[in-house]
Amino acid sequence: MRASVITSFGTADALHEAHVDMPVPGRGQVLAKVRAAGVNPAELIARSGGFNLPAPAIIGFEFAGTVAAIGDDVSGVEVGDRIAGWPDSFSQGSYAEFTLSSNYTTIPEGVTFEQAAATVIGADNAARGLALLGPRPGETIVITGASGALGGAAVQFARLQGLEVIGIAGRFSLEYVESLGATAIEYGDHLADRVRAVTPGKIDAALDTAGKGLLPALIELRGGTERVVTLADMAASRYGVAFSAGHPGNRDSRHVREALEHIAAGEWRTRIGHTFPLSQAAEAHRTLEAGRTGGKLLLIP
């Protein structure tokens, strides 16, 4: 099969298309034919060598596609079913024609592979981060990175749970964030003052999905670190803020399925910035590194 293979970790140039052996599904796994793979910030770190993966490595931490073959002890899906989920291995990922997975959900009719691939990591992490805040209907939450994959999902889950949402995003994303049902505010200087100016009541909780140094403003708005959670800021411990990391043990495909069902019903938005053929994985990484993607970047094998 074709895959984007890293033999030596480093810059985006490390990603090279090559022919590699087809993976074979083991117990509990399906072989998925990848139809779209999300390109994520964590994959930039993995590509640079930050995850200490063994080489040669195929990265790519989320996918949508079809079931191509089924291993032992797999139930609930058949060959040909449309699924979205996580590859089982960080070094045998979704930047490839095929990948192995035991954690996935089926894709409802009416949802494209691109939409599904763009939803997996965002919906899962957003739902987990939100749950940690114990939100109650009628409360007001501030969500940073509200135009992003994680933040956009967090805004929409929060609205579905009956919360008022202040969404923090860039100037060019404000209209999009408003369309998700949030009051949108541009990040930048005096953020806490500008949030307070549009919020008469108190801020009950804050979820940081941007990781861009906004924790002091969120702590100021909350009057402390209680009910402040970050999914993205590595300086969390310095501020005494809870950091929630996603890992294979806490992924929950039910949240992905829930988001996909809302997409199918026309009541959930997933922003796709650009799609690249697999052969242009390096270009996709450069685009993500440059920022202002306009939405999720996807590789199409």
Ligand X SMILES: NC(=O)c1ccc[n+]([C@@H]2O[C@H](COP(=O)([O-])OP(=O)(O)OC[C@H]3O[C@@H](n4cnc5c(N)ncnc54)[C@H](OP(=O)(O)O)[C@@H]3O)[C@@H](O)[C@H]2O)c1
Catalog residues that contact ligand X under the rule CB under 6 A.
40-42, 121-122, 125, 144-151, 169-170, 173, 187, 209-212, 214, 231-232, 244-246
Q: How far is the CB of 126 from ligand X (least distance, A)?
A: 8
**Number of other residues whose CB lies within 10 A of the CB of residue 137:** 8
d(CA 184, CA 165): 9
Q: In the complex with ligand X, which residue's Cβ is closer, 228 or 232?
A: 232
What are the angstrom distances between the C-alpha of 254 and each of 33, 84, 117, 157, 188? 21, 11, 15, 13, 35
Cβ pair 173, 149 in contact under 8 A = no
* Distance from C-alpha of 85 to C-alpha of 224, rounded to nearest angstrom: 36
Token pair for 27:
């117990």
The minimum distance between CB 272 and ligand X, in angstroms, equals: 11
14 or 120: CB nearest ligand X: 120
Residue 80 beta carbon to ligand X: minimum distance, rounded to whole angstroms: 30
> Measured from the CB of residue 91, what is the shortest distance to ligand X in angstroms?
18
Residue 246 CB, nearest approach to ligand X (Å): 3
d(C-alpha 272, C-alpha 285), whole Å: 15
Q: Nearest residue to ligand X, using CB? A: 148
Give whichever of 31 and 241 is closer to ligand X, judged by the CB atom. Answer: 241
- Give the residue with the Cβ less far from ligand X, 42 or 69: 42
Q: Between 78 and 172, name the residue whose CB sits nearer to ligand X.
A: 172
Query: And the tokens for 104?
Result: 């996935």
3-state helix, strand, coil in the chain (%, to 5): 30, 25, 40
CA distance 78 to 152: 32
Instruction: Decide whether 105 or 209 has the Cβ nearer to ligand X.
Output: 209
In whole angstroms, the minimum distance from the beta carbon of 26 to ligand X comes to: 25
Cβ at position 298, least distance to ligand X in Å: 12
- Calpha distance 108→152 (Å, rounded): 20
Q: SS3 letters for 200-248?
A: CCCCCEEEECCCCCCHHHHHHHHCCCCCEEECCCCCHHHHCCEECCCCC
In 20-87, beta strands by DSSP E: 30-39, 63-70, 82-86
Closer residue to ligand X (CB): 31 or 39: 39
